[in-house]
Chain A
Amino acid sequence: MEGVLFPHGVPEGREGLEEYRARDGYQALAQAVKAPGQAVIKVISDAGLRGRGGAGFPTGKKWQFTREAPDQPRYLVLNGGEDEPGSKKDRVLLENLPHLVIEGTILGAYAIGAAKAYLYINARYDMALKTINEALAEAKSAGYWGSNVCGSDFTLDIEVVPAPHNYVAGEDTAVLEVIEGKKPLPRQKPPFPVTVGLFGKPTAVNNVETLANVAPIVLKGSDWYRKFGTAESPGTMIFSLNDDVNRPGVYELPFGTPLRYLIEECGGGIKGGKKIKAIMPAAPSSAFLPVDKIDTPLDHNSMREAGAALGCGVVKLVSEDSCIVEELVKIADFFAAESCGQCPACRMETNTLAMMIKKVQAGQGGQPIIEQFGKILAFNKGKGFCNLIAMPGPPIESAIKLFPADFQAHLNAGKCPAA
């Protein structure tokens, strides 16, 4: 299947500057700087590119807001924090296709009128940091960033910032805090970064995969891009599969591809010849889907209608011999551990939910504790600076609804039905 990012499959090793240029690399940039930055925003808006970090916000709109913000200077930030458990798409792009990522970043900066871009990359990604730095040096020597980009009067500085590897450090405002030399703590929104961002100035924070889509769109046009995917989710998306399938890896698929194709054709099905009990299409913060939703198309609308989300494309499977309560213990512990602690409601909610699910696991609390989950979630709804407080809800509430027998087995027998 032809792709936007991996037209010849997932590449092995780093693509060098000459290889990238041999497939029209930096041609989009060379063309773009001959026209105003708004032209880049227009083609990205027409293409319908949506952010790949999880929220799916229209990239053209984000850039338009940033460009229109009255304050100066403006900044572009590439968010390669990638702290979601099981996600590896950004790492693959940074390590193997650094020039594609860099060209997209430069185009984004040009589009919004930024004179400086920051590449925020997970500090654990030694190889990605190395390949990006090498590619940056090559691109600078070739005149793609620095003074007078491609002979134009556009000047851009780029700086790499290693990202701490806790979960909230990938939240866009926490990213800004880190670049400013502070702790990775999310800011209260509004104001949004597009108006008050890095050092208080208008800033577009874009995911690595989002920016990797930009050069192909600028070069080949929005009509070409819209040949992939669906009307509301154009293009492709990279999905990460992990050890629960026979062939873990990253797979680029057009939006709208059935979930079954990803799991069976790409991933080779669930490991050990077992049956699938549930699917989590945006682990760990999406709702569980029952196995009869395996034909749901992988696009934003279809997933929302099915009761789940696409997130950043980490698809997790729960096998028939696994217990949902045990899965929830891991998820609730993750959010309790990753709550940064600055918002009391988030600390309260994530820790209380983790305590509650462990009570269930131990067979304590009876039916009243099951009813309490929704009340604790409702009490904390809308509180907190960032979205972490909203993340434990979908997995917990869907699990209670879809797999009551697992909860009952724990409450009745005090042990796991899967054990």
Chain B
Amino acid sequence: MSRVCLVCQNIDCKSRGSEQLMAELQKRVAAKGLSDVEVKPYMCFGACQDGPNIVLYPEKNWYAKVKVEDLDEITEHLAGGPHVKRLDTIDSSLKELIYQLLDTGVM
């Protein structure tokens, strides 16, 4: 297992459906046979107004306001497909803060 797909589970993202998103993403990743990807919960990325948030690590891609309809494209990206540009809307300073945190192993 070398890659993680972190799905925010703080109250705001949860209220926007992040539990269902995580379950759906786990199904799609398994169906695609992506055995090197683990989809797991994360406490919070601090971007509540833009939730639900999903961060792919270590490639450092952040998808915001993710809906179930977006999950096929995200799964494709995980399988080597293109980056889903329209979901990449988070401010770069916040990204840096969270990526630095993930780099220290806090996940």
Provide the residues of chain B in CB contact with A13, threshold 8 Å: none
Provide the residues of chain B in CB contact with A369, threshold 8 Å: 104-106
A380 to B10, CA, bound (A): 15
CB B4 to nearest CB in A, in angstroms, measures 15
Q: Which residues of B from 61 to 99 have beta carbons under 8 Å from A?
A: 94, 97
One of B11, B100, B101, B103 near A344 (C-beta < 8 A): B11
Provide the residues of chain B in CB contact with A356, threshold 8 Å: 101, 104, 106
In contact, B103 and A368 (Cβ under 8 angstroms):
yes
With an 8 A cutoff between CB atoms, is A382 at the interface?
no
Which of A78-86, A326-334, A346-354, A388-396 sits within the interface? A346-354
One of A347, A364, A366 near B44 (C-beta < 8 A): A347
With an 8 A cutoff between CB atoms, is B19 at the interface?
no
In contact, A372 and B11 (Cβ under 8 angstroms):
no
CB B25 to nearest CB in A, in angstroms, measures 21
A347 to B45, CA, bound (A): 11
User: Which of A341, A348, A351, A379 has the most chain B CB atoms closer than 10 A to its own CB?
Assistant: A348
A368 to B97, CA, bound (A): 11
A222 to B61, CA, bound (A): 64
A341-B11, A344-B12 in contact; A359/B104 too (CB < 8 A)?
Answer: yes
One of A345, A351, A375 near B100 (C-beta < 8 A): A375
Contact digits for B36-73, partner A, Cβ 8 Å, 1 yes 0 no? 00000001111010000000000000000000000000
In contact, A372 and B104 (Cβ under 8 angstroms):
yes
In contact, A355 and B43 (Cβ under 8 angstroms):
yes
With an 8 A cutoff between CB atoms, is A156 at the interface?
no
Provide the residues of chain A in CB contact with B94, threshold 8 Å: 379
Chain B: interface residue total (CB-CB under 8 A): 16
Residue ID in chain A nearest B107 by CB atoms: A355
A355 to B106, CA, bound (A): 6
A364 to B107, CA, bound (A): 12
CB B5 to nearest CB in A, in angstroms, measures 19
A341-B11, A342-B11 in contact; A376/B44 too (CB < 8 A)?
Answer: no
A376 to B106, CA, bound (A): 12
A376 to B94, CA, bound (A): 10
Contact digits for A165-179, partner B, Cβ 8 Å, 1 yes 0 no? 000000000000000
Provide the residues of chain B in CB contact with A347, threshold 8 Å: 10-11, 43-44
One of B11, B101, B105 near A364 (C-beta < 8 A): B105
Residue ID in chain B nearest A364 by CB atoms: B105
A379 to B100, CA, bound (A): 13
CB B10 to nearest CB in A, in angstroms, measures 5
A18 to B26, CA, bound (A): 72
In contact, B44 and A368 (Cβ under 8 angstroms):
no
Provide the residues of chain A in CB contact with B100, threshold 8 Å: 368, 372, 375
CB B45 to nearest CB in A, in angstroms, measures 8
One of B10, B97, B103 near A375 (C-beta < 8 A): B97
| Contact surface of B with A, Cβ cutoff 8 Å | 10-12, 43-46, 48, 94, 97, 100-101, 103-106
The 19 listed contacts between A and B (C-beta, < 8 Å) are: A344-B11, A344-B12, A344-B44, A347-B43, A347-B44, A348-B44, A348-B45, A351-B44, A355-B43, A355-B106, A364-B105, A365-B105, A365-B106, A368-B100, A369-B104, A372-B101, A372-B104, A372-B106, A379-B46
| Contact surface of A with B, Cβ cutoff 8 Å | 341-342, 344-345, 347-348, 351-352, 355-356, 359, 364-366, 368-369, 372, 375-376, 379-380
- Assuming A341-B11, A347-B44, A369-B105, what are 7 further A-B pairs, CB within 8 angstroms? A342-B11, A344-B10, A356-B104, A364-B104, A365-B104, A365-B106, A372-B101
The 10 lowest CB-CB distance pairs between A and B, nearest first, are A348-B44, A365-B104, A369-B104, A344-B48, A344-B12, A351-B43, A344-B10, A355-B106, A368-B104, A364-B105
